Structures are given as structure tokens and as C-alpha cells.
Amino acid sequence: MSNETASFGEILIYLIGGIVFISGGLFTAWIIRPKRPNEEKLTTYESGEDPLGGAWGQVNIRFYVIALIFLLFEVEIVFLFPWATVFGREELIEATDGLWGWVALSEMFVFIFILALGLAYAWRKGYLEWDKPEIKPSDFKGPVPTEKYNAINHKYSKFTSEQPKK
């Protein structure tokens, strides 16, 4: 058994420790808590209304695209980690007369640049845009004349980015 594998034994201790701790807590709670279910209690919460249908349904494609871009970046990062621990090693740089560091850095430059192209493509094509809420101007006519509002807006305009309407 190598040291590396042995060091994962401790991770296993954490894994088991975490599960045991939670199970212990849940068990304690199970002993002392009441269990009196009724129809009302077991309905899904929907702010006091009776729930209409379930929640399981189609989700927006945005989430899928974001997960996809994330996955590709994650793969890139997996390559970056081993590189990051060796590219600036003094002994390697000395062994190659200072060549190693610059070569490794420029190789990684090319690698990241290609992926940055991908990000730029997704950006340009608008996959990074999220659906923005459309703000519809209300046709509500209040008793306060518009000029009064504009005057107030103008007075505090240095706090907001929007210019008062003329």
C-alpha cells in the first residue's frame, strides 16, 4: 500500500464520520420527535394555495448550456492542475538553462487561448445571456402629475444612472 493510497484512508474516515454524525443526529431526532401526519401537513407548500399539479416539468435550455460550458472548462482545469505544480520548478528550469519555464508557460498560453476562443464564441453568440425581464411601461395614470415625479427624479438624479425624462 503506497503512502498516497494510505492518505485516502483519512478521507474515508471523514466520509464515514460525516455520515455517522448525521445519522446519529437523525436517530436522536427520530426518538424524540412526534409523528402525527395529516392531509394538510403533507401537501406541498405553495404559499397557502392548494397546489396545482406537480413541479416536475421541462426546464429552460439555458441551464443545460451553462452546465455544458462549465463541463468543458472543468476539463480544461483538470489539465491545468498538473501543469501549475511543475512549470516554475527551479530544479527543472536550471536543468534546461531557463528554457523549461518559458516553454511550459507558452504551451499553456496556447491551450488557454484556444479555450478563451470558445468562451468568446459562446459570448458572441449570446449563450451567456440570460433572459432578461422585459420592463413594460405602465399606462396607469396617477393623480400626481408627471412633472412632480420628474422633478423629484431630477433632484436625486446623481444617485441613479437613468436621466429624467423630459
Partner 1 sequence: MSTIIFFLPFILIYTIFAVYGERKISAFIQDRYGPMEVGKYGWYQTVADLLKLIQKEDIVPKKASKKLFLIAPVIIFTSIFCGFVVLPITSSWEGTLTQNGVYFLLAIVSLDVVGILMAGWGANSKYSLLGALRSVAQIISYEIPVTLSVLCVIMISQSLNLQEISYQQGILINAFPDMENVKNYLFGISALNIDVTNWGGVFTWNIFRAPVLIPVFIIYFISTLAESNRAPFDLPEAESELVAGFHTEYSGFRWAIIMLSEYGMMLLVALLGVILFLGSWNTPLPNIGNIMLANWTTGEPETIAGNLWSVFWLLSKALMWIAVQMWVRWTYPRLRIDQLMSLSWKYLTPFAMFLIFVSGLWRLLMI
Partner 2 sequence: MNWMTTIFYFFGAITVLSALGILFTRNVLHATFLLMLSFFSVAGIYVLGNASFIGVTQLLIYVGGILILMVFGLMLTTKLNGKALVTENHNRLIGVLLGTVFFSILSYIIIFSANFEMLKSNKTLPENAVEFIGINLMSNYLIPFEIAAILLLVALIGAAVISEKRKEKQE
* Total count of residues recorded for the chain: 166
Q: What amino acid is encoded at 42 in this protein?
A: L
**3-class secondary structure, 139:** coil
Residues 26-55 that bind partner 2 (CB under 8 A): 53-55
Give least dist CB 1 to partner 1, A: 14
Residues 56-115 that bind partner 2 (CB under 8 A): 56-61, 63-65, 67-72, 74-76, 78-79, 81-87, 92, 103-104, 107, 110-111, 114-115
Give least dist CB 125 to partner 1, A: 13
Q: Does residue number 20 form part of the binding site for partner 2 (CB under 8 A)?
A: no
21 vs 24: CA distance, rounded Å: 5
Of the candidates 166, 76, 165, the one whose C-alpha atom is nearest the C-alpha of residue 113 is 76
Write the DSSP assignment of 45-109 as a string of letters. PSTTSPP-S-S-----HHHHHHHHHHHHHHHHHHHHHHHHTTTT-HHHHHHTTTHHHHHHHHHHH
Q: Which does 72 bind (CB under 5 to 8 A by kind): partner 1, partner 2, none?
A: partner 2
Q: Which stretch binds partner 2 (CB under 8 A): 16-24, 122-130, 143-151, 158-166?
A: 122-130
Q: Which residues bind partner 2 (CB under 8 A)?
A: 1-2, 4-5, 8, 12, 53-61, 63-65, 67-72, 74-76, 78-79, 81-87, 92, 103-104, 107, 110-111, 114-115, 117-118, 121-122, 125, 127
